[in-house]
A and B are shown apart, each in its own frame.
Chain A
Amino acid sequence: MADVQTTNQSILVVGGGISGITTALEAAEAGYDVVLLEKNPYLGGRVTQLHQYFPKLCPPSCGLEINFKRLKANPRIRFFTMAEVAGISGKEGDYDVKVKISPRYVNEKCTGCGKCAEACTAEVDNPFNYGMDKIKAAYLPHGFAFPMRYVLDPSIVGTDDGKKCKDACQYDAIDLDMKETSFDLKAGAIVWATGWNPYDAAKVEYYGFGENKNVITNVMMERMASMNGPTGGKIVRPSDGKEIKNIAFIQCAGSRDENHLAYCSGICCVASLKQTRYIREQYPDCEVTVFFIDIRALDRLEDFYTMVKEDQKVKFIKSKIATITEDGATGNLVLEGENTNTGEQIKATFDMVVLATGMAPNSIKSVCSADVSCDEYGFIANDPAKAGIYGAGCARRPTDVASSVQDATSSALRAIQSIARR
């Protein structure tokens, strides 16, 4: 890692999701040197875990493939996976950044042949599928993983399994002695594109996420619908693998709620609308109910809402559901709340419930001693008086992919300006 030559003409992009990749590419394709850091073992971030984008219902890997191709073709970008920022100091045009690299236990000799996974017997919760299934402790994070290189879970280092993996590798790619390393780099501008985490649904306690087995979150639904998800793309009840006849979506499960996320997460309405399509495509007879406060489908996304509303099997009820109770015998879920259009009290049974949980930003504050402003929610404020560090995408505001990419593109120019000013 010592060969990372950077200067105050370099742009550092933190976060290798769709926003970070975009910022890096846009700047590099205009002729600037970029270092891109990603904490996961692969690039692509949260969108790699989505089944399809709204409103086109197209797969995220399609655009990622193009972006990876651009990245492969561009020598100005250097990227590091399993890398996190440990500290930022300095000022616009002259930042010092400490980068921490977690051990992957697999070096660059890995060909992706998969022999280590074949040899490994231990299994761990699959983080890519939000723990809904298990994966070998020597694993390729997912089929489209870029770079296509295996990872060893730290739990098998120092065990028989670790040794089995090492022995199985014909290319000497397994390095069980790998340690966390760090290196320093310089940057003239920093774009913080660390994206978001799904808000912890268990915190919205009255929905019983974690206890009620058939209550899942919207991000879990994405994995379930996905071909490379835990169920091979088939949407079924987690408790018993049964098909779905009657499903509910609960909007604002944490968002627009001063007890949780006071802001609106911006995307959950259309995300749920999209997920109603997943359901309806798999189950021509399934009843779908969307419980909402306001449906927020901006600009042309309204067309998508209109299209979903035309589906007679999809009902919309204005209500913030108050309670979910699990029927122990069937695993069915009883939802209670008020239909605020009619004033009636709802008591309805569903076989599965999807919580539209919101976006919580991965904030910069904990690692940055340089001057940067965040709003009260932890989103970067992009204060013009504090140029040099710029938030992009969901690190700046909760928003959808198209807007994130738009924002990431503008961040690339802001970073270039920071360098041009010096």
Chain B
Amino acid sequence: MDKNIGIYICTGCGIGDMLDCDPIAEMASDEYSVSICKNHPFLCGAEGVDLIKKDIEGEGVNTIIIAACSPRVNYDVFDFGQDKIIERVNFREHVAWSQAEKDENTQMLAEDYIKMACAKIGRTDLPEPFKAEEEYSKDILVVGGGVAGMTAALETAKAGYNAILVEKDPKLGGFLAKMKKNVTLPYKDISDTGAEAMIKAVSDNPKIKVYTSAAVEKISGGPGIFSVEIKANGNSATERAGAIVQATGWVPYDANKLGHLGYGKFKNVITNVEMEEMAAAGKITRPSDGKDVKNVLFIQCAGSRDPEHLPYCSSSCCLVSMKQATYVKEQNPEAVNYILYKDIRTVGQSEDFYRKAQMDGNVFIRGSVEEVGESGGNLYVSANDELLGEKIKIEELDLVVLAVGMVPRSLPAEIPKIKAPSDSKEADADGMIEVKPDSGFFATSALNLAYRQGPELPTLKYGFPDSHFICFPYETRRTGIYSAGCIRRPMEVGKAKDDATGAAMKAIQCIEATSIGMAVHPRAGDISYPEFNMSRCTQCKRCTEECPFGAINEDEKGNPLPSPTRCRRCGTCMGACPERIISFKNYSVGMIGDMLKAVSVPEEDEEKPRVIVFVCENDAYPAVDMAGIKKMNWSPYVRFVPVRCLGSIALVWVADALARGIDGLLFMGCRHGDDYQCHFVKGSELANTRLSKVSETLDRLSLESDRVKFIEVGITDCDKVPAIISEFMETIESVGPNPYKGW
């Protein structure tokens, strides 16, 4: 598009008191041939906006630089339509409110920001949404036909979309169908599971296609264009889907590992799952002799909350045992149930069910098991009764039920190994290394994705493919694939249903966004996407390795095969590529490079150092804004450059900037490590890794490594921002001016 640039400077909110606008206009006209440069005392007011609109209509302005407040505000006021390029220059928070005085340095700062904006728009094109060649599918593939999977399919259908349900067993229903009763809101009593009705609703629903005795053999493609190969009852089928819900559920923790609790040793020691199945089948009896049960003891946290077994809490076992105690009492009102627990965890309204279980006369004992044994054909349990403060023994037990926890079905029995990288220190004798849970190669076969980064969803610590984010529980590392129910996190039936409904929502949303070329969370609505100039590709594979979302496959030769519908637009690939072949229409290595070149670098004797601060636009940028709002001051020698994610920074920027005489570069990114906050998973970590390798470049240029620094800045660290800058400026002062100035 032919760019007709207009620059509009707001002099309100104190900007006019700090800057002279005329020289800025002159500079823009001289250096960037911008003919329209106007200022207004209240640009966001109706009159100010009109001024711009008139130029759009009258002068054909289509590329608008607004030098006013932060782009985080007045986003609606300065929206002039999708067909305009809008660049916001933050004169208020980053200049007027955060500079100590109106002087030459402040003026130069403002001028640099205008120059950088001009350079930026010079490299900006209006993005056009991606459109796949194939027709988009709006159907949803649901893997797993238990309560979560059936719910996902039904809710999808209710919203008017088609679902394809794949269940490994011959019959739908999963654990729900094996249950006798359920406990759920309002938690006053046990209730029917509703499994049969649900199975029927699924089977009868014309919008749901069910495959039983089936497995997903292979999934290729991406959101909107998934191709799914299903093997059902020995036959193969191929389906197309737009998004996927993985609801493959859980398996009970292997009670054979709980020999110390008598499992496998005594027939009358059973798991809660076995208890449920027995109850559902009819009568609860002693497995040893089929006799009636009168005294039952439930051992809570059998394996759960135990570092030797499952360190986590399985969430639902307290309620399950209380429910099963109800079965026992219903069968024989004189029966006695003992519940041996660590903590009773009936959160929310489910506390009511705990009350009911108490009312029923079940005996709750807080403590730990010492021994499970047999005497005279009956079981006994010795325990440490915490509240009695004594060792106790409960005899004449007919049944001991182990409340075993939930293990994600896709947890591998043994941690898989892959070939270790050559520089790995953890490799075994065969050069192999254990796969980390957050790798797509960790979990066992459920989706069989034909993805370069592994066939399954990456998982968290214990093998649950859950979100790492508190605010975004449906955040996924594989675009368009959402996990739901107990595969995600141990949860009770009611919550699994809610969770599956939410997953269906996200799947539908992904389909709708993809079909119009929009990104999903966190850059929801973004229509730009990375384009690859393949002719210059060196098959280094960095982009395919580093993409946090597994969006790029590669061919046998190592050429990247991008799947734009899987892409989340973070730009990590762009930062990874040493050949600069990946760029967005409105975000590229060249664009930022030009911005850096636009910064004026005064001569050494002027003693005006120049520092570039790259800031993550989600966290560090608002923190800087906040510091401005609080009227905190910082050096006039720094220039902020917002980036989509620090994962998108290219090392060439460092080299280029230093070569031009920029004295230092500071990178403000999100916290990384186990509790990472980067919304693109690894961006900030990758940036840090890349920067650690920058010393070579610095050495080559004979520059001090102190000139480049990475620092973690959270969104609430606004109070720290000025100090971080001052400290860095002191460092720069101590290492002295960049010797390349003026070259």
How many chain A residues touch B (Cβ–Cβ < 8 Å)? Answer: 86
Q: Which of B124-132, B308-316, B536-544 is the interface stretch?
A: B308-316
CB under 8 Å from chain B, chain A span 171-188? 171
Contact assessment for B505 and A63 in the assembled complex, using a CB-CB cutoff below 8 Å: no
Q: Given the interface contacts A112-B73, A341-B386, does A296 sit within 8 Å of B718 by beta carbon?
A: no
| Neighbouring B residues of A143 by C-beta, 8 Å | 626, 629-630, 718
| Neighbouring B residues of A256 by C-beta, 8 Å | 351
CB under 8 Å from chain A, chain B span 72-86? 72-73, 75-76
Contact assessment for B512 and A31 in the assembled complex, using a CB-CB cutoff below 8 Å: yes
Q: Given the interface contacts A256-B351, A375-B186, A407-B498, does A113 sit within 8 Å of B524 by beta carbon?
A: no
Instruction: Give A74 Cβ to nearest chain B Cβ, in Å.
Output: 6
A303-314 vs B, Cβ < 8 Å mask (1 yes, 0 no): 100100000000
Q: Given the interface contacts A379-B349, A410-B502, does A302 sit within 8 Å of B714 by beta carbon?
A: no
| Neighbouring B residues of A56 by C-beta, 8 Å | 470, 675, 677
B234 near A: Cβ within 8 Å?
A: no
CB under 8 Å from chain B, chain A span 391-421? 397-403, 405-410, 412-414, 416-417, 420-421
CB under 8 Å from chain B, chain A span 46-64? 53, 55-64
The listed residue with most B CB atoms (<10 A of its CB), out of A31, A294, A343, A414, is A294
Contact assessment for B13 and A264 in the assembled complex, using a CB-CB cutoff below 8 Å: no
A282 near B: Cβ within 8 Å?
A: no
Contact assessment for A296 and B345 in the assembled complex, using a CB-CB cutoff below 8 Å: yes
CB under 8 Å from chain B, chain A span 286-318? 294-303, 306, 318
| Neighbouring B residues of A409 by C-beta, 8 Å | 473-474, 501-502, 505-506
Contact assessment for B344 and A397 in the assembled complex, using a CB-CB cutoff below 8 Å: no
A239 near B: Cβ within 8 Å?
A: no
CB under 8 Å from chain B, chain A span 89-134? 109, 111-113
Contact assessment for B472 and A405 in the assembled complex, using a CB-CB cutoff below 8 Å: yes
| Neighbouring A residues of B185 by C-beta, 8 Å | 375, 381-382, 397
Contact assessment for B311 and A303 in the assembled complex, using a CB-CB cutoff below 8 Å: yes
Q: Given the interface contacts A406-B499, A413-B502, A420-B159, does A296 sit within 8 Å of B470 by beta carbon?
A: no
Tell which of B160, B470, B499, B671 touches A420, judged by Cβ atoms closer than 8 Å: B160
B278 near A: Cβ within 8 Å?
A: no
Instruction: Give B266 Cβ to nearest chain A Cβ, in Å.
Output: 29
CB under 8 Å from chain A, chain B span 336-370? 343-352, 355
CB under 8 Å from chain A, chain B span 498-518? 498-502, 504-506, 508-509, 512-513
Complexed CA–CA distance, A69 and B495 (Å)? 29
| Neighbouring A residues of B629 by C-beta, 8 Å | 112, 143, 148
Instruction: Give A138 Cβ to nearest chain B Cβ, in Å.
Output: 16
| Neighbouring B residues of A64 by C-beta, 8 Å | 471
B417 near A: Cβ within 8 Å?
A: no
A231 near B: Cβ within 8 Å?
A: no
Q: Given the interface contacts A66-B618, A341-B387, does A407 sit within 8 Å of B502 by beta carbon?
A: yes
Q: Given the interface contacts A406-B498, A410-B499, does A227 sit within 8 Å of B351 by beta carbon?
A: no
Contact assessment for B499 and A74 in the assembled complex, using a CB-CB cutoff below 8 Å: no
| Neighbouring A residues of B495 by C-beta, 8 Å | 403
CB under 8 Å from chain A, chain B span 468-522? 469-474, 489-491, 495, 498-502, 504-506, 508-509, 512-513, 520-522
B126-164 vs A, Cβ < 8 Å mask (1 yes, 0 no): 000000000000000000000000000001001110000
A29 near B: Cβ within 8 Å?
A: yes
A320 near B: Cβ within 8 Å?
A: no
| Neighbouring B residues of A379 by C-beta, 8 Å | 349
Complexed CA–CA distance, A59 and B677 (Å)? 10
Complexed CA–CA distance, A341 and B252 (Å)? 32
Contact assessment for B12 and A170 in the assembled complex, using a CB-CB cutoff below 8 Å: yes
| Neighbouring B residues of A25 by C-beta, 8 Å | 524
Tell which of B347, B498, B719 touches A264, judged by Cβ atoms closer than 8 Å: B347
Complexed CA–CA distance, A372 and B490 (Å)? 30
| Neighbouring A residues of B473 by C-beta, 8 Å | 402-403, 405-406, 409
Tell which of A226, A266, A417 touches B348, judged by Cβ atoms closer than 8 Å: A266
Contact assessment for A417 and B73 in the assembled complex, using a CB-CB cutoff below 8 Å: no
Complexed CA–CA distance, A382 and B185 (Å)? 10
Contact assessment for B349 and A144 in the assembled complex, using a CB-CB cutoff below 8 Å: no
The listed residue with most A CB atoms (<10 A of its CB), out of B13, B73, B464, B505, is B505
Tell which of A72, A294, A377, A420 touches B75, judged by Cβ atoms closer than 8 Å: A72
| Neighbouring A residues of B524 by C-beta, 8 Å | 25, 29, 70, 73-74
Complexed CA–CA distance, A171 and B344 (Å)? 59
A342 near B: Cβ within 8 Å?
A: yes
CB under 8 Å from chain A, chain B span 90-127? none
Contact assessment for B525 and A26 in the assembled complex, using a CB-CB cutoff below 8 Å: no
Instruction: Give B716 Cβ to nearest chain A Cβ, in Å.
Output: 4
Complexed CA–CA distance, A144 and B628 (Å)? 12
Contact assessment for B501 and A410 in the assembled complex, using a CB-CB cutoff below 8 Å: yes
Contact assessment for A375 and B462 in the assembled complex, using a CB-CB cutoff below 8 Å: no
Instruction: Give B54 Cβ to nearest chain A Cβ, in Å.
Output: 20
Tell which of A58, A68, A227, A228 touches B677, judged by Cβ atoms closer than 8 Å: A58
B700-739 vs A, Cβ < 8 Å mask (1 yes, 0 no): 0000000000000011101100000000000000000000
Residue of B nearest to A404 (CB): B473
B208 near A: Cβ within 8 Å?
A: no
Contact assessment for A65 and B498 in the assembled complex, using a CB-CB cutoff below 8 Å: no
Complexed CA–CA distance, A226 and B719 (Å)? 12
Complexed CA–CA distance, A59 and B389 (Å)? 42
| Neighbouring B residues of A59 by C-beta, 8 Å | 714-716
Instruction: Give A90 Cβ to nearest chain B Cβ, in Å.
Output: 21
Contact assessment for B344 and A294 in the assembled complex, using a CB-CB cutoff below 8 Å: yes
Contact assessment for B498 and A29 in the assembled complex, using a CB-CB cutoff below 8 Å: no
Complexed CA–CA distance, A340 and B364 (Å)? 15
Contact assessment for A262 and B311 in the assembled complex, using a CB-CB cutoff below 8 Å: no
The listed residue with most B CB atoms (<10 A of its CB), out of A66, A341, A421, is A66
B36 near A: Cβ within 8 Å?
A: no
A356 near B: Cβ within 8 Å?
A: no
Q: Given the interface contacts A170-B12, A263-B348, does A299 sit within 8 Å of B489 by beta carbon?
A: yes
| Neighbouring A residues of B498 by C-beta, 8 Å | 406-407, 410
| Neighbouring B residues of A228 by C-beta, 8 Å | 716
A67 near B: Cβ within 8 Å?
A: yes
Residue of A nearest to B468 (CB): A56
Contact assessment for A413 and B471 in the assembled complex, using a CB-CB cutoff below 8 Å: no
Q: Given the interface contacts A58-B675, A341-B386, A381-B185, does A302 sit within 8 Å of B471 by beta carbon?
A: no
B45 near A: Cβ within 8 Å?
A: yes
| Neighbouring A residues of B619 by C-beta, 8 Å | 62, 65
Tell which of A62, A266, A382, A417 touches B471, judged by Cβ atoms closer than 8 Å: A62
Contact assessment for B501 and A401 in the assembled complex, using a CB-CB cutoff below 8 Å: no
Contact assessment for B351 and A405 in the assembled complex, using a CB-CB cutoff below 8 Å: no
Complexed CA–CA distance, A33 and B581 (Å)? 39
Contact assessment for B715 and A299 in the assembled complex, using a CB-CB cutoff below 8 Å: no
A322 near B: Cβ within 8 Å?
A: no
A18 near B: Cβ within 8 Å?
A: yes
Q: Given the interface contacts A143-B629, A144-B626, A406-B499, does A18 sit within 8 Å of B343 by beta carbon?
A: no
Tell which of B312, B471, B474 touches A303, judged by Cβ atoms closer than 8 Å: B312
Q: Given the interface contacts A262-B352, A300-B460, does A111 sit within 8 Å of B159 by beta carbon?
A: no
Contact assessment for B618 and A26 in the assembled complex, using a CB-CB cutoff below 8 Å: no
Complexed CA–CA distance, A200 and B468 (Å)? 33
Contact assessment for B315 and A299 in the assembled complex, using a CB-CB cutoff below 8 Å: yes
Complexed CA–CA distance, A340 and B366 (Å)? 11
Contact assessment for B505 and A26 in the assembled complex, using a CB-CB cutoff below 8 Å: yes
- 10 closest cross-chain pairs (CB), A and B: A63-B471, A409-B502, A410-B501, A413-B505, A294-B343, A410-B502, A266-B347, A30-B509, A59-B716, A302-B313
Q: A65-B622, A148-B72, A302-B312 are in contact. List 15 more A-B contacts (CB 8 A).
A: A30-B508, A55-B675, A62-B670, A66-B522, A67-B471, A70-B522, A297-B313, A298-B313, A343-B389, A375-B185, A405-B472, A406-B499, A410-B498, A410-B499, A420-B159
A-B contact pairs, 19 of them (CB 8 A): A55-B675, A60-B471, A65-B619, A73-B524, A143-B629, A262-B355, A263-B351, A264-B350, A266-B348, A300-B312, A303-B461, A381-B185, A381-B186, A399-B347, A402-B471, A407-B502, A409-B501, A410-B498, A414-B501
